[in-house]
Amino acid sequence: MFHAHQNESGAAAETLPPNQLTQDDSLGSQLREHVKRLRVILPVISVSVMALHRQNAELDHDIACVLSEHAGVPLDDEIENLQSILASLTWRKHQQEAQGA
């Protein structure tokens, strides 16, 4: 049902096959809610990274780098991936409506 794709950060991103995107009208609203929840997490990571850098302790800097690289960047990539899926879903829905009209 899901396909795993390797993204630039090396993590596997799970996406729905294109034919399933058009089958479920509630999918768009579910994806929008998921993106909204992910967007709440991203600033928390960013603020934590900034605070750790500001403390300027060697260990804090290392933790901030790991947090940024392995949490913040992949989360941002996943949000962009979901937004792309949503845009594709919206475009396809409009195309289908235009063809049916």
Asked if residue 19 is part of any domain, the answer here is: no
Residue 9: the pLDDT is 45
Q: Cα torsion for 38, 75, 73, 44, to the nearest 10°?
A: 40
Number of neighbouring beta carbons within 10 Å of residue 64? 21
Is this structure's pTM higher than 0.85?
A: no
Residue 4's DSSP bridge partners are 14
Q: Do the beta carbons of residue 21 and residue 84 sit within 8 Å?
A: no
pLDDT (tens digit, 9 = 90+) per residue, 18-29? 555 445 568 888
* pLDDT band at 101; cut points 50, 70, 90: low
Per the structure, the count of domains in the chain is 1
Asked if residue 47 is part of any domain, the answer here is: yes
Asked if residue 23 is part of any domain, the answer here is: no
Asked if residue 2 is part of any domain, the answer here is: no
pLDDT (tens digit, 9 = 90+) per residue, 50-81? 888 888 777 888 888 888 888 888 888 988 98
* Proportion of the chain above pLDDT 70, given as a percent: 74
Range of the domain at 48: 30-100
